[in-house]
Amino acid sequence: MAKYILKRVLMAVITLFIVICLTFFLMNAIPGSPWLSEKTPPQATIDALNEKYGLDQPVIVQLGKYLANIVHGDFGTSIKMQKDRPVLDIITTMFPVSAAIGIIAILWAILVGVPLGCLAAYKRGTWVDSLLRVICTIGISMPGFVVATILLYLLAGGIDGFKIFPTIFDGSLKSYVLPCLALGFYPMCYLSRQTRTAMLDSINQEYIKTARAKGLKNKKIIFKHALRNALIPVITYLGPQVAFTLCGGFVVETVFSIPGLGRYFVQSIQNRDYPIIMGTTIFLAAFIIIMNLVVDLLYKLVDPRINLSKGGN
Amino acid sequence: MAEKRKKVLGSLQPDVEDILEWNNLPDNAFEPASAQEKESFIQDRKSVSYWKDAWRRLRRNRVAMVAMVIVILIGLFAFVGPLLVPYGYDEQIRGANNLHPWHYSLEDQARIDAYMEEHNNTANLTPDEAVEQAKAEAAAKGEELSRIEEAKIRANAKASQGSGEGEVTEAAAIEALGIKAKPFGYSDDELQRMENGESVFPHVFGCDTHGRDIMVRTMIGARVSMIVGICCAIIVLIIGAIYGSISGYFGGKVDAVMQRIVEVIYTIPEVLIILLLGTTLKPVFEQFQNSGNGPLQQLVTTLGPNLISIFIAFGLLYWVTMSRIIRGQILQLKQQEYVTAARALGAKGGRIIKRHLLPNCVGQIVTTTFLQIPSAIFTESFLSFLGMGVSAPMTSLGSMCSDALSGLTSYPYRLFIPAAILSVMILCLNLFGDGLRDALDPRLKK
C-alpha cells in the first residue's frame, strides 16, 4: 500500500512539474509581449519593465526562479490585468466563487444522475429506460454553452413575461440556479449513463442470482447489493469531473458573467498576463491532479478486490 | 438426417437402408457441370468479408442508420451547400443588416408603416429623422438649432423609440392588421428587385448584424467543425496506432517507459493545455505564415493558422486513449500462433505489426477513430465559443453562438440554429459511432 501511494504521489509530482514547464515554455513561445498596446512605449521603458519583471534573463533562468518562488508560495504579481496584485491573492478570492457553483452543480448531478441510472437499469427495456436513454444521449451531445444559453433564454427573459432568474450573476441565491443547472447537466447525463451500464453489469453477476435464490426482495437486491458494486466505476469518473467542474466551468462562467477563476483564466490568456496564466494553470492543474490521486486511492479502498501491491492495470 | 437414422428408439445404429440409398446415383451424375451450374455453385459459396458482415449488422441497427443519414445530410449541407448559395460567408450584403428569417411583402410593409404613422406621431421617428424634422421646423422659423438642443432631441427620440410606451410598435401594428409573415428573409432592396421580376436567393435563416447571410455562415461553420473532427481523428489515429503498437509489441522495458509517459500525459488536465496550446500556437503560425512564400507557408495559409494549431493541440493530447486501446489489443494478439509463425519465418517487428497485428484490431481502431470525431467537434466548438478557435472572418458553429449571445433576446434564432446543428451533428456522430462499434466488434455489445 505504502509503495503504491508513494509511486502515485511521485507520479503526480512529475506530472505537475511537466505541466509547469510546458506552460512556462508555451508562454514564452508567444510572439509579442505584454507591453504591446496601441501606444507602443519607448524601447527604454520596455527594457526597464523587462528588467523589473525579470523578463530579460534567459528562459531557463526564469523558469528556475519561478520554480523556486512557487516552492515558497510566491506565484508572482499580475503584470497587466490587476497591476501588482499578487496572483495567489487573486486565485484565493476567485476560486471560492467557482467552487461554490461547482459543488452545487456536482451535487445535483450525483443526486439526480445516479438514481436515474438505477431507475433505467431497474426498468430495463421499458419506455422509461428508452426515454431516459434518449435524454441522456442528447444531454452528452450538447456542448455546455448550448445548455447554458438555452437555459438563459428560457428562464431569464428570452420569452415575454417569463423572467424567473437574473441574467447576470450577482451572488444572490436566485442567480446561482441557472449556472448550477447548466454546469451540472452534462455530468448528470454522463453519470446516469455510467450508472445504468454499471448496474446492468452487476445485476448479471452470480451473487445477485444467489440473493435472488435466497428470496430477497427486488428492491433490496438492487439498492443494497447491486448498487454498491455499481458505484465503483462511477467513482472513477467522478474524481476528475469533480475537480474539473469545481474550477472549470469556463463556458458557464463566461455566459453568466460569473467572477470566477475559469472566466478569469480565459481573460488572462486573451490579455497575455503571464503570471496569471501560469498561476491559474498551475493551480487548476494541481487541483485536478490531486483530486485524481485522491480518487484513485479511495477507489482502491472502496473495492478491496483490487490488489494494491501489484500496482496498476 | 439425424432423426432418420435412428429408427429404433435408443439405438445408436444408423439406418442402413438410407445410407445404401445414397449409392443409387442418377445416370447423369458424372456429366460435366454446365456453365450455369458452375456459376450458381460459386455464388452459393461467395464468402462474406469482414466489412460486408459488419455492414449487414450495421444496416439492421435502425438508430445508427438514421444517424448516418442525418450525418450525410449535414455533410451535404456543409460541403455542397455553399456552392449553391450565391452569398459568401464574409460577404456583407447592403441593407440586409439584422434581417429576420421572415419578411413582409412590400404592400404589407406599406400598410404597417401607414398604420404606425397614423397612431404615432413624431415619437416614433428615428433620432436622425427627429433631428431633421426639428431642423426643418427651426429653419422655417428662421432660427438655428444649437448642438445641445440637437442632442436633446436625439436623446428624446432614442428614449421614446426604445421604450415604445403609449405608442404602437411594429409588432403591435402587425398584429392589429393581421398580417402574416412570409418565410425567408429579404432586404427591402431585394424585395424591390423581386418586384421587378428578378429572382433573388432568399436569406433562409436571415442575416446577422453585419448583413452576412446566416445560412452560409452556418454551412461554413459546420464544414469547419467536420474538417476539424476528421483531421483530428486522423492525427490521433496515426500517433496512437504507431505508439500503441510499438509499446504493445516490444513490451518489457520499452513498454514500461512508454506507458509511464502515457500515464503522465493522461493526468495532464487536457482542456487547460488545449486552451494554452491553441492560443500560443496561433501567433507562432501567423508569424511563420508572414515570414516568406515557400510551399510550407502556402500550406499554412490555405489551412489557416487557427485550424492548424487546433489540430496540433488535439494531436498532442488525445492520442493517449487510442494508444492504450491499441496496446491492449496488440498485447492479446501477439500471443497468437500466427505471430509466432511469422517470427519463425524471419519477419521483422515492423512487418509483423503492419501486416499481422494492426489489421486484426481494425474494428477497434475504426470505432475509436470514429468516436474521436464528435469529441473533437465538441472541444473545437468550446474553444471557438470562448473566442480561441478559428478567428474572424472565418467562422465556426461555436463562434457563431458566442457572437449571437449578446442579441439573444431579440434574435434567438441566431444562436439556436448553429447550436441545434452542432448538437444534432455530435449526437448523430455519437449514435453512429456506437452502432459502428456494435457492428465491427460484436463481442463488445452489451
DSSP string over B235-249: HHHHHHHHHHHHHHH
0.90 surpassed by complex ipTM: no
A114-147 core/surface letters (b: 16 or more CB in 10 A; e: else): bbbbbbbbbeeeeeebeebeeebbebbbbbbbbb
- Range list of H helices, B86-126: 106-119
B353-362: pLDDT as tens digits: 888 887 777 8
d(CA A270, CA A25): 17
Contacts of A146 in chain B (CB under 8 A): 401, 419, 422-423
Does residue B52 carry a pLDDT above 60? yes
pLDDT number for residue A178: 82
Does B422 sit within 8 Å of A146, measured CB to CB? yes
Q: Name residues whose C-beta falls within 8 Å of residue B329's C-beta, 6 or more positions apart in sequence.
A: B248, B357, B360, B361, B364
Closest-CA residue to A115 (of A218, A191, A211): A191
Q: Does B309 touch chain A (CB under 8 A)?
A: no
pLDDT of residue A313: 38
B409 CB within 8 Å of a chain A CB: yes
**Mean pLDDT (chain B, rounded):** 75
Q: Looking at residue A87, what is its pLDDT?
A: 79
**Confidence class for position A162, pLDDT limits 50, 70, 90:** low
The x, y and z cell numbers of residue B21, run together, are 440409398
pTM: 0.75
Q: Which is more confidently placed, A73 or A189?
A: A189
Residue B410 vs residue B424, higher pLDDT: B424
Of B182, B221, B219, nearest to B202 by C-alpha is B182
**Both B303 and B260 in a single domain?**
yes
Q: How many CB pairs under 8 A join A and B?
A: 124
Mean pLDDT calculated for residue range B61-67: 83
Classify residue B343: in a domain, yes or no: yes
The size of chain B, in residues, is 446
Of B166, B195, B224, the residue at which a domain comes to its end is: B195
Residue B14 belongs to a domain = no
Whether B357 and B421 share a structural domain: yes
Position A152 scores a pLDDT of: 80
Q: Hunting for cell 458566442 — which residue is that?
A: B402
> Which of the four pLDDT bands, split at 50, 70 and 90, describes residue A311?
very low
Residue of B nearest to A138 (CA): B427
B311 found inside a domain = yes
Place B392 in a pLDDT band, splitting at 50, 70 and 90.
low
Q: How far apart are CA B280 and CA A26, in angstroms?
A: 6
Q: Is residue B15 part of a domain?
A: no
A107 or A309, higher pLDDT: A107
Q: Specify the pLDDT at position B444.
A: 54
Query: What mean pLDDT comes out for the span A91-105?
Result: 85
- CA proximity to B433, closest of B228, B229, B222: B229
> How many structural domains compose chain B?
2
- Give tens-digit pLDDT for B394-417: 778 888 888 777 777 777 777 888
Task: Name the residue with higher pLDDT: A2 or B279.
Answer: A2
Comparing A109-113, A130-134, B288-292, B326-330, the range with the smallest average pLDDT is: B288-292
B262 and B141 in one domain? no
Residue A241: closest CA among chain B residues belongs to which residue?
A: B269
B279 touches chain A (CB under 8 A): yes
Domain-located, residue B46: no
Both B420 and B292 in one domain: the answer is yes
CB contact under 8 A, B405 and A149: yes
For B280, the closest of A19, A26, A254 (CB atoms) is A26
Q: What does the pLDDT average to over B130-157?
A: 68
Neighbours of A175 (CB within 10 A): 19
Mean per-residue pLDDT, A6-23: 82
B223 plus B121 within the same structural domain: no
High-pLDDT (> 90) share of chain A, %: 0
Are both B140 and B263 inside the same structural domain? no
Give residue-wise pLDDT tens across range B153-198: 766 666 655 544 455 666 666 666 666 666 676 666 666 777 676 7
Section B135-147 average pLDDT: 67
Q: Which residues pair with B364 in a beta bridge?
A: none
Question: Is residue A312 scored above 50 in pLDDT?
Answer: no
Domains, chain A, in order of start with CATH, read 2-71 (no CATH), 93-203+229-308 (1.10.3720.10)
A153 touches chain B (CB under 8 A): yes
> First CA to last CA across chain B, in angstroms?
36
Residue B419: pLDDT band with limits 50, 70, 90:
confident
Which chain A residues are closer than 8 Å to B381 by Cβ? 143, 145
What mean pLDDT is predicted for residues A33-47? 67
Upstream peptide bond of A179 is cis (omega within 30 degrees of 0): no
C-alpha cell at B239: 500517433
Q: Is B373 on the interface with A (CB under 8 A)?
A: no
| Cβ atoms of B126 and B161 closer than 8 Å | yes
pLDDT at A302 over 80: no
Mean pLDDT of B116-135: 64
- Looking at chain A from residue 165 to 204, which residues have their Cβ under 8 Å from any Cβ of chain B? 197, 200
| pLDDT, tens digit (0-9, with 9 covering 90-100), for B30-39 | 888 788 777 7
Which CATH number goes with the domain that contains B217?
1.10.3720.10
| The predicted structure's pLDDT at residue B1 | 44
- Domain C-terminal end among B125, B160, B195: B195
Contact A117, A191 (CB under 8 A): yes
What are the angstrom distances between the C-alpha of A295 and each of A9, A67, A79, A102?
A: 12, 27, 36, 17
Tell me how far apart the terminal alpha carbons of chain A are, to the nearest angstrom. 15
Q: Can you tell me the mean pLDDT for A65-75?
A: 77
Choosing from B170, B195, B220, the residue where a domain stops is: B195
Q: Which of B266, B279, B389, B260 is nearest to B322 (CA)?
A: B266
Q: Is the pLDDT of residue B2 over 50?
A: no
Q: What is d(CA A152, CA B411) in angstroms, rounded to the nearest whole number?
A: 13
- What does the pLDDT look like over B287-335, one tens digit per residue? 777 777 777 777 777 667 777 777 777 777 788 888 888 888 888 888 8
Query: Does the residue B49 lie in any domain?
Result: no
CA torsion angle for B280, B282, B286, B288 (degrees, to 10)? 60
pLDDT of residue B446: 43
Nearest in space to A284 (alpha carbons), one of B388, B317, B272, B266: B272
Please determine, for residue A58, whether its predicted confidence score (pLDDT) is greater than 70. yes
pLDDT classification of A30: cutoffs 50, 70, 90 = low
Over the stretch A274-293, which tens digit does the pLDDT of each residue have? 778 778 888 888 887 888 78
Task: Say if A14 is an interface residue toward chain B (CB within 8 Å).
Answer: yes
- For residues B170 and B251, membership in a common domain is answered with no
pLDDT confidence band for A86 (50 / 70 / 90)? confident
Residues B82 and B174 in one domain: no
Residue B206 lies in a domain: no
Cβ separation of A292 and B386 shorter than 8 Å?
A: no
Say yes or no: B117 and B263 in one domain. no
pLDDT at residue B10 in the model? 61
Give pLDDT, residue B318: 82
CA distance A178 to A256: 8
- Over 80: is that where the pLDDT of A186 sits? yes
Between A32 and B287, whose confidence is greater? B287
Identify whether residues B254 and B300 lie together within a single domain. Answer: yes
Q: Which helix (H) or strand (E) holds B422?
A: helix B412-440
Asked if residue B12 belongs to a domain, the reply is: no
Q: How far A264 CA sits from the closest chain B CA (Å)?
A: 12
pLDDT at residue number B383: 81
Taking CA–CA distances from A296, the nearest residue in chain B reads B267
Note down the domain range covering B180. Answer: 104-195
Q: Are residues B78 and B111 in the same domain?
A: no
- When comparing pLDDT for A23 and B72, which is higher? B72
* Residue B123 pLDDT > 60: no
Identify whether residues B143 and B283 lie together within a single domain: no
Provide, as residue numbers in chain A, all residues whose Cβ is less than 8 Å from the Cβ of B409. 153, 157-158
